[in-house]
């Protein structure tokens, strides 16, 4: 089915589907609702929750991927985040870490600040990634397409980007209650 | 003048094994040496570089980030809301452009205020000199390990040999 025709799902539902397919992979989750929703859905020590520094989730993931080449590193990102740190698509595309998987939850708005529209409505971020040198890129809506493509990308060498169109709906979730220093410590231990 | 090979060697002796950053003319010799030794991963912006360093640190590396001091402005938020509060240390090797007003206009304000800026955001810093290099590097290793936060080594023009004479 073409992505434009599929039924769109909420971001939390998409995050849930992604986390169900992951086991012990390091996961970098961008600031804002994605971290808060992921924490509520399934907290794992392999999760690195960001609370600030918008736009650099893939840069953190890249640092982990380069220093841990045997582990597939997953970055859960948002459209506003990718637009803010768009240069990193070039860095990832040029360095081509095989173990880098970039999942972009694209709701076309800045959800944490009142749903102001982002440019992802008109700019196809997965095509930017493709042009920058990502090896595999896909754009999906349906949950079953998300599951199929993510399984493929987990098995294949990257760098890959899976862009998932999601609704603006945000879950009623609190901030991540962990101390940032503790997030670092337990993440390092879990991926060592 | 410190040779770039000796400077890199000393950093490797302390344990630094992951280098990224954005080039500056004063850092050209160091970056050339790092590239020869296949230790350098280029970044496109300084905020990306310090975030990459954070990731590398969590993956077991001892990271350093090279940049011109204009890049401190670019990466300030990432340093404060990522590296600092998450206790992800990295050594910032910062070229001091605009020192004593002797530089192009775009470097003058940062050149004058950089150490106050670093003090204000509580990033420990030290200015490298040939006479104090051994102490400066000892301080670098100890501060990195003890405080587990970003720290800066400031390099004025001509302290470490560049690629241009």
pLDDT tens column, A90-110: 999 999 999 999 999 999 999
Distance (Å) from the alpha carbon of A166 to chain B's nearest alpha carbon: 26
pLDDT at A6: 64
Phi, psi (degrees; rounded to nearest 5) at A70 = -85, -5
- Give SS3 for A107: coil
DSSP sequence for chain B: -B-HHHHHHHHHHHT--EEEE---GGGHHHHHHHHHTT-EEE-SSHHHHHHHHHHHHHTT--EEEEEETHHHHHHHHHIIIIIITTT---EEEEE-TTGGG-S-GGGHHHHHHHHHHHHHTT--EEE--TTTHHHHHHHHHHHHHHH-S-EEEEE-TTSB--S--
Q: Tell me if A91 and B56 make a contact (CB, 8 A cut-off).
A: no
Residue B28 CB-half CA count within 13 A: 9
Q: Are B161 and B24 in contact (CB under 8 A)?
A: no
**How far is Cα B87 from Cα B109, in angstroms, rounded to an integer?**
29
Assigned token pair, B156 = 């004025």
Kindly state whether A87 is in contact with chain B, defined as any CB-CB distance less than 8 angstroms: yes
| Residue of A60, A175, A182 best to disrupt the B interface, most CBs of B under 10 A | A60
Mean pLDDT, chain A, integer: 96
Interface of B with A (CB under 8 A): 18, 41-45, 47-49, 51-61, 63, 77-78, 80-82, 85-88
Q: Tell me if A56 and B60 make a contact (CB, 8 A cut-off).
A: no
- The residue with tokens 């002796």 is B13
- Specify the CATH number for the domain of residue A90: 3.40.50.970
**How far is Cα A185 from Cα A81, in angstroms, rounded to an integer?**
25
Q: Are B96 and B25 in contact (CB under 8 A)?
A: no
Q: Tell me if A52 and B56 make a contact (CB, 8 A cut-off).
A: no
For residue range A135-154, what is the model confidence (pLDDT) as tens digits?
999 999 999 999 999 999 99
Please report residues of A whose CB lies closer than 8 A to that of B21.
none
Q: Tell me if A180 and B86 make a contact (CB, 8 A cut-off).
A: yes
ipTM over 0.90: yes
Please report residues of A whose CB lies closer than 8 A to that of B81.
51-53
For residue range A14-40, what is the model confidence (pLDDT) as tens digits?
999 999 999 999 999 999 999 999 999
Assigned token pair, A71 = 């582990």
Please report residues of A whose CB lies closer than 8 A to that of B18.
63, 66-67
Which stretches of chain B drop beneath a pLDDT of 70? 164-165
> In CATH, what number does B4-155 get?
3.40.50.970
pLDDT at A1: 47
For residue range A61-86, what is the model confidence (pLDDT) as tens digits?
999 999 999 999 999 999 999 999 99
DSSP structural state of residue A46: T
Q: Are A30 and A60 in contact (CB under 8 A)?
A: no
pLDDT at A166: 96
Domain that includes residue A119, residue range:
3-191
- B73: Cβ contacts below 8 Å, ≥ 6 apart: B110
Strand order of the β-sheet with B125-127 is B40-42, B18-21, B63-68, B91-95, B151-155, B125-127
* Burial of B126 (C-beta count, 10 Å sphere; 0-12/13-18/19+): middle
pLDDT at B162: 85
For residue range B70-88, what is the model confidence (pLDDT) as tens digits?
999 999 999 999 999 999 9
Please report residues of A whose CB lies closer than 8 A to that of B55.
28, 59-67
Type and span of the H or E element at A58: helix A57-67
Assigned token pair, B97 = 């452009």
Average pLDDT over residues A1-22: 84
DSSP structural state of residue A179: -
- The residue with tokens 């700019």 is A123
- Give SS3 for A44: coil
Assigned token pair, A65 = 């991927």
Q: Is the pLDDT of residue A179 over 60?
A: yes
Domain count, chain A: 1
Query: How sure is the predictor about A10, in pLDDT bands with cuts at 50, 70 and 90?
Result: very high
């Amino acid at each position: 089915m073409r992505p434009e025709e599929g039924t769109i799902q909420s971001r939390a539902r998409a995050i849930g589907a992604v986390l169900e397919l992951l086991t012990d992979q390091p996961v970098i989750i961008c600031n804002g609702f994605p971290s808060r929703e992921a924490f509520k859905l399934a907290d794992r020590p392999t999760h690195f929750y960001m609370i600030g520094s918008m736009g650099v989730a893939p840069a953190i993931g890249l640092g982990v991927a380069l220093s841990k080449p045997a582990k597939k590193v997953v970055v859960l990102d948002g459209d506003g985040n990718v637009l803010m740190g768009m240069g990193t698509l070039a860095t990832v595309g040029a360095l081509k870490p095989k173990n880098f998987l970039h999942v972009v939850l694209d709701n076309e708005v800045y959800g944490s600040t009142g749903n102001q529209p982002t440019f992802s409505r008109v700019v196809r971020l997965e095509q930017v990634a493709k042009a920058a040198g990502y090896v595999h890129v896909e754009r999906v809506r349906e949950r079953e397409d998300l599951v199929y493509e993510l399984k493929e990308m987990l098995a294949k060498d990257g760098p890959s980007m899976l862009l998932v169109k999601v609704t603006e709906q945000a879950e009623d979730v609190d901030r991540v209650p962990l101390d940032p220093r503790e997030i670092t410590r337990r993440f390092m231990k879990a991926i060592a | 003048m410190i040779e770039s090979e000796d400077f890199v060697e000393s950093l490797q002796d302390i344990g630094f094994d992951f280098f990224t950053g954005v080039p500056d003319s004063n850092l050209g010799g160091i970056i050339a040496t790092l590239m020869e030794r296949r230790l350098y991963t280029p970044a496109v912006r300084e905020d990306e570089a310090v975030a990459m360093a954070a990731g590398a640190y969590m993956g077991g590396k001892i990271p350093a980030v090279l940049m011109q001091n204009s890049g401190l402005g670019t990466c300030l938020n990432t340093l404060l809301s990522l590296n600092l509060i998450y206790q992800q240390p990295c050594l910032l090797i910062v070229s001091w452009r605009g020192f004593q007003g002797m530089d192009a206009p775009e470097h003058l304000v940062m050149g004058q205020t950089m150490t106050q800026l670093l003090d204000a955001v509580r990033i420990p810093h030290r200015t490298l000199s040939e006479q104090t290099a051994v102490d400066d590097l000892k301080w670098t290793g100890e501060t990195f390990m003890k405080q587990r936060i970003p720290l800066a080594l400031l390099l004025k023009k001509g302290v470490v040999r560049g690629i241009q004479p």
